[in-house]
Structure 1
Amino acid sequence: MSPEFTLSAGGYTAVVTAHAAALRVLQFEGRDLVVPFPVGGPIPDFRGIIAAPWPNRIEDGKYIFDGVEHHTPVNEPERGTALHGLAFALDWTLKESDAASLTLSCTVGPTTGYPFVLELSASYVLDETGLHASVTARNAADVTAPYGVCPHPYLVAGSSPLDKWVLEFAADTFLEVTPDRLLPVSLAPVEGHEFDFRSPRAIGATEIDHAFTGITFDGGLARLSVRDPAGTGVGMSWDQSCPWLQIHTADKPAPIPSRIGLAVEPMTCPPDAFNSGTDLIRLAPGAEHTASWSIYAL
């Protein structure tokens, strides 16, 4: 079984697994802020993983980069896509840790469909204001590499059903997708749409598995809050390295438990960016890129 590491500070407790550098548990004063998953075994629904070197999907696992066609394995066969990168399948190595922080690292590639080499470092720090995380990628090869990243927590506002949670985040635009494969179609305004959460309102029966952009960054940070009518809540903030945000209401067919948390994924690029090139990071040899985010109790 892959090792895991427990952090605590300021009323917060976090458990991070070496496998996938995944956030398995995050609690404040004993209250879950993310949907946890059991010790050992596979990680369900990519909960808490670091999705790199691409977030979300690549259509057919195929892309062209600098004139060369690549084919990466399809791991979402029902939609025919390569989902959430490669780092989630790896055991990361502990670099340093103390009671309230740790740093894990791994090397991605070269491998089938991704003949590049990235050194990834994930940092988790707890203090009285919450969990602060970052991922740094360094291109360790001599050719430019395509890159994108996102975290994948499922936030928990409280004990009420997700339909009753009140969601707020400032994004003007969402990405319409194909209903069968969730691949990009076109951008559309949230104005007048059920995806408009620029003012706080209950999620209700709305089903979301879409990316948003046109995000407001106030003082360099974007913020999202989700609150339970019982009075608890959880917030997330992220920096301008992530101009995209995937939201998923975790809808599942019966008898699988459905809508048990809200996936909130600040992304450096949109779905299928390896094909569209939209906000795709071109990481030059020796260059680094860092994305940062925080999760905290409300």
Structure 2
Amino acid sequence: MSDTDFEIRWGQYEALVTTRGGALRQLRHRGRNLVVPFGENGEIPDFRGVICAPWPNRVVEGKYSAEGRQLRLPLNDLANGAALHGLVFNKNWKTLEVTEDSLSMGYEVKHSDAYPFNLYIEVHYRVDEGGLHGTVRSTNQGTGTAPYGVCPHPYLVAGDAPLDEWSVRIPAAEVMLVSSERMIPGEVVPVEGQPYDFRCERELGDIQLDHAYTGISRDEDDRARVQLFDPSGSGVELSWDSQWPWLQVHTADKPHDPSRIGLAVEPMSCPPNAFNSGVDLIRMGPAESHEASWSISALSRCDLPPVRRGYGQPG
């Protein structure tokens, strides 16, 4: 194991986290992968497990305005002309604290021409009998009001069968449509009657998803939950708190192999292109902070009670 990677464990859960991108590199339960892992060297493929900040998803053409200034972010999605996933996914974070079952890392986003603000971002990972728990907290250390958004970027794995055979439940009543070219965000529409409606668990099949959901339904603990199952009965759940009103879901389609090897499930504090639309954009004043949390846990059909009708689902 490299000196950038750390193992944390509790009971039957074990995770590898890395200072590269503040990322979750691997998560296993009883030896079974719950996320698509990646290697200890080289570039992180497909943003797997990274922390995306100070914006999630894309800023179209990298252009936005803040505090009366027109600004331009570097483009890293040249095919679609967009700035993807923030400024910290490819940085080396500083290790703050390591224990047997937890790890904290931090990264300072310094004032630049593209993003003229100073943020300090910390991510804390912990494992216990309930799975892996992540918390990301950002603080504005500058004098201006910083536009801000954040998301984790795990690719979930339900089991050994192909993704097309997995079934999923997504507790969201609305979805943001995107253009077929350049992935430009469009209008938000109800999922009812759309192929994107997964409020009741159903098989993914050959659907291609790279969409932001909202209208999220939550349980009595004010948490939302995506549940994903393999035909064998194994599964995985990602839950998140109310600080993330959006959810990006992506079937990881590629024009080449490996394709569709996991389902990206990304709680987001704001939708794609929020730097321009302003929708749910956090405007963080000096000394203000934002904190949000999520969890990933193993599921098994045999351990679950009968399917609950909830989360605003039909039926």
Superposed counterparts of 1:243-254, under 5 Å: 243-254=245-256
Confirm or deny that 1:155 pairs with 2:152.
no
In the other structure, the counterpart of 1:282 is 283
What is the percentage of aligned positions where both structures have the same residue? 51
Secondary structure of 1:240's aligned partner: coil
Output the amino acid matched with 2:29.
F
Conserved in 2, the CA contact under 8 Å of 1:158 and 1:233?
A: yes
Secondary structure of 1:163's aligned partner: helix
The one-character-per-residue Cα deviations of 1:144-195 (angstroms, maximum 9, x if unpaired) are 1000000000000000010110100210000011111111110111101111
In the other structure, the counterpart of 2:271 is 270
Output the amino acid matched with 1:259.
R
Conserved in 2, the CA contact under 8 Å of 1:173 and 1:213?
A: yes
In the other structure, the counterpart of 1:292 is 293
Secondary structure of 1:265's aligned partner: strand
Superposed counterparts of 1:1-298, under 5 Å: 3-218=4-219, 219-254=221-256, 256-298=257-299
Secondary structure of 1:89's aligned partner: coil
Provide the C-alpha distance between the structure 1 equivalents of 2:180 and 2:24, rounded to a whole number of angstroms: 29
The one-character-per-residue Cα deviations of 1:235-266 (angstroms, maximum 9, x if unpaired) are 00000000000000000002x21100000000
Secondary structure of 1:69's aligned partner: strand
Secondary structure of 2:198's aligned partner: coil
Output the amino acid matched with 1:83.
L
Provide the C-alpha distance between the structure 2 equivalents of 1:161 and 1:282, rounded to a whole number of angstroms: 41
Aligned residues: 297
Conserved in 2, the CA contact under 8 Å of 1:19 and 1:91?
A: yes
Mark the runs of 5 or more structure 2 residues left unpaired by the alignment. 300-315
Provide the C-alpha distance between the structure 2 equivalents of 1:39 and 1:233, rounded to a whole number of angstroms: 26
Provide the C-alpha distance between the structure 2 equivalents of 1:225 and 1:2, rounded to a whole number of angstroms: 34
In the other structure, the counterpart of 2:311 is none
Tell me by how many angstroms 1:2 deviates. Answer: 6.0
Output the amino acid matched with 1:172.
A
Secondary structure of 1:274's aligned partner: helix
Would you identify which runs of 4 or more consecutive aligned residues in structure 1 move more than 3 Å? none
Output the amino acid matched with 1:297.
A
Secondary structure of 2:176's aligned partner: strand
Distance 1:180 1:229, change over 3 A: same
Provide the C-alpha distance between the structure 1 equivalents of 2:64 and 2:53, rounded to a whole number of angstroms: 16
Secondary structure of 2:134's aligned partner: strand
Output the amino acid matched with 1:192.
G
In the other structure, the counterpart of 2:313 is none
Mark the runs of 5 or more structure 1 residues left unpaired by the alignment. none
Q: Please give the root-mean-square deviation of Cα atoms over the aligned residues, in Å.
A: 0.9
Output the amino acid matched with 2:239.
S
The one-character-per-residue Cα deviations of 1:54-86 (angstroms, maximum 9, x if unpaired) are 000001111012321111100110110000000
Question: Mean Cα displacement is larger for which, 29-38 or 63-72?
Answer: 63-72
Provide the C-alpha distance between the structure 1 equivalents of 2:218 and 2:235, rounded to a whole number of angstroms: 21
Secondary structure of 2:80's aligned partner: coil
